[in-house]
Amino acid sequence: MLRLLHLLLLLLLPPPGTPEPPGLAAVSPGAHPQAPDLLYADGLRAYAAGAWSSAVALLREALRSQAELGRVRQDCGARCTAEPGAALPAAPLDVPGPDSRPHLAPGAWERLLLRAALRRAECLSHCAARRLGPGGSARLRVGRALRDAFRRREPYNYLQRAYYQLKKLDLAAAAAHTFFVANPKHLQMREDMAKYRRMSRIPPQSFRDLETPPHWAAYDSGLELLGRQEAVLALPRLEEALRESLAQMESCRAGCEGPEEQQREEEEEEEGTGNQGGLYEAIAGHWIRVLQCRQRCVEDTATRPGRSFPVPDFLPSQLRRLHEAHAQVGNLSQAIENVLSVLLFYPEEEAAKEALNQYQAQLEEPRPGLGPREDIQQYVLRSLGEKRQLYYAMEHLGTSFKDPDPWTPAAFIPETLREKLREDQEQRPWDHEPPQPKPLTDWKDVLLLEGVTLTQDARQLNGSERAVLDGLLTPAECGVLLQLAKDAAEAGARSGYRGRRSPHTPHERFDGLTVLKAAQLARAGAVGTQGAKLLLEVSERVRTLTQAYFSPERPLHLSFTHLVCRSAVEGEQEQRMDLSHPVHADNCVLDPDTGECWREPPAYTYRDYSGLLYLNDDFQGGDLFFTEPNALTVRAQVRPRCGRLVAFSSGGENPHGVWAVTRGRRCALALWHTWAPEHREQEWTEAKELLQEPEEKEDKKEEKEMPRRDSSPEPPSHRLQRVQDKSGRPPRVREEL
């Protein structure tokens, strides 16, 4: 059967060279959708085998089938809800309370509920079988992994590569753009998009989102027209945005009753997290999960593709813009309907009340029949009914519910839950403020560094053994080190790179300065001695801080110190999407495909901790970011600023890179530390000796003759043999962050 399907799909493909219609239209219109998971798996097999035409056909059919499943579920749900005898009885929806008592004989509502549920099930079963073929939606049930893959738009990632191989560049660009919109932090796709944009054969209109939800397209278009003071043109788009938003929520709500949600519950029960009670507990548990899912639909609808958080108060915000736009064009009746709809959410909103009074005063004659929009009334009443049941279950059954709406009346929340929910309300993602710097109370006494604060710890950076600390340098000290870097570059000091362009990107210039080269330039009078000395002092300051924070029981030694500046090349930043420094780990070779990090040459395997001390922020781009081991998913991002240190362990647990510097000059002091004394930075000791004045050297000689209290080993005074790699060449000075 599958082979026959594959043959049919191949026959339906257009001949080679035939222009394909825009977008990803259905390959086999009118046919029953096939199982999306099987189609997707076969599409990936074809892709792996290099059968690009087959891969395109199968992946497109998988997308079509998945979309058709959602439409069928929504259509059948709406049809069966209106079926005579399938409406749920009203009494079970009334949560028991002082003002609500079901007026039914004992056991009557169970019989009514069962009868309605059976009729609804029969209707849904017949509808699904008619639209989807024998077996209905149960035959096409898909697992969580596939749902997540389609939600992340992964099929488009494969489609863009397959289209590229088929020389269909406009469709490749559209598929790539569609995937990138939902995955804006996908680094490989960022590079692919840059390549597509550089291709002259691809017109700008090819970069379109094939999966843009209709409500977002209409909403953005309406806002753009409003911004241009074109309210007449904006109104149809804003009305469409509201209708499509409500339709999108209906589609989402229909999915809450689908077989995928039932499968999720079964998975939870297998993991021991499901309901362990009897019949009524199981029924209540299932119903609560359905209601929770339905309530989350407002957040799903209000979240743009590729964004993590929803637009706050999405529906009321649309209504506010609508009543203002209607008023601008003189549609006062519609303006009143929309402002009354706003008051359904916020009855005490002063701005809405003032607008309502103004519109009513402007009407030539009173119109008492005007009221809120009917679709919004139905939405609010239904949502409040569901919230009432969920809060009841939360209070009496111990379930959890995070209300997505800030407009829920306090009267719907039981008194015993209000304080806890008020705290949760204050912690909403869109209201969450960045963590405030905390004083170094645990280890400040060890550091003796006043003014240093812990800005973000490993938990806040979504990783392990990483931290952001501020206050290590004053603005004046940053200025001294920036001047040192500038003077060294003008003196022709180029350590740590080959040529004038960065080794990682042709769009930036790279200047590097080691501590020994700084000391030599200072002795020669090419740079200021103050800057060279401060470079040594600051590196030791960072080492002390890193050891105190990460390794208080084991001494760390400086392994390498490098003052690095990256400058954007003017005129070469247009549509740039490459990186200033690719994702890597500092002491191992990162393999993104497997997530492994091999601790072997050419990596600097002896490096244990890394530090980046920033000197400025007057540039564009250049943020440091941490990723997952796949080198694609960004987990945290840090903006440079004067005196800010990012310290972290150097292994595969901390893959990191640098976004492109697109304007200005970014300077930072990169430092690496090691537990191995034999890998101590010998150049640091040489630089210190070069910068010492004659009287300082005499003092140092007398100090050596006195017994030391510090038990940690002193740096050896003799020159250590340089570590060489297997080829026998001198150690590399790697271009670091």
Catalytic residue IDs: 666
Give the span between the Cα atoms of 20 and 12, in whole angstroms: 12
| Contact of 655 with 596, CB cutoff 8 Å | no
Tokens 């310290």 found at: 647
Three-state DSSP class for residue 199: coil
Question: β-pairing, 645-649 with 609-614?
Answer: antiparallel
Tokens at residue 282, please?
Answer: 């199981």
Tokens at residue 531, please?
Answer: 């800057």
User: Angle of helix 350-362 relative to helix 314-328, nearest 10 degrees?
Assistant: 30
Tokens at residue 472, please?
Answer: 């290590």
Tokens at residue 491, please?
Answer: 């003196």
- Residue 650's nearest CA partner among 571, 526, 512, 556 is 556
What's the full length of the chain, in residues? 737
Provide the CA 191 distance to its chain's centre, in angstroms: 18
Tokens at residue 507, please?
Answer: 């769009």
In this structure, the number of other CB atoms found within 10 A of the CB of residue 678 comes to 11
CA dihedral 678, 681, 683, 688 (to 10 degrees): -110
Amino acid at 509: R
* Number of helices (H), then strands (E), in the chain: 24, 16
In this structure, the number of other CB atoms found within 10 A of the CB of residue 472 comes to 23
- Residue 637's nearest CA partner among 437, 507, 452, 468 is 468
> Cβ neighbours of residue 615 under 8 Å, at least 6 residues apart?
473, 478, 481, 482, 485, 642, 667, 668, 669
Task: Please spell the DSSP secondary structure of 149-185, one letter per residue.
Answer: HHHTTHHHHHHHHHHHHTT-HHHHHHHHHHHHHH-TT
Strand ranges (E), 70-159: none
| φ, ψ of residue 201 in degrees (nearest 5) | -80, -10
Provide the CA 365 distance to its chain's centre, in angstroms: 52
User: What's the farthest any 2 CA atoms get from each other in the chain?
Assistant: 104
Q: Give kind and range of the element (H or E) at residue 611.
A: strand 609-614
Give the span between the Cα atoms of 178 and 184, in whole angstroms: 10
Give the span between the Cα atoms of 383 and 315, in whole angstroms: 13
| Contact of 484 with 532, CB cutoff 8 Å | yes
DSSP state for residue 97 in the 8-state scheme: B
- Residue 613's nearest CA partner among 415, 501, 478 is 478
Measure Cα distances from 669 to 8, 355, 473, 527 in Å. Answer: 62, 57, 11, 17
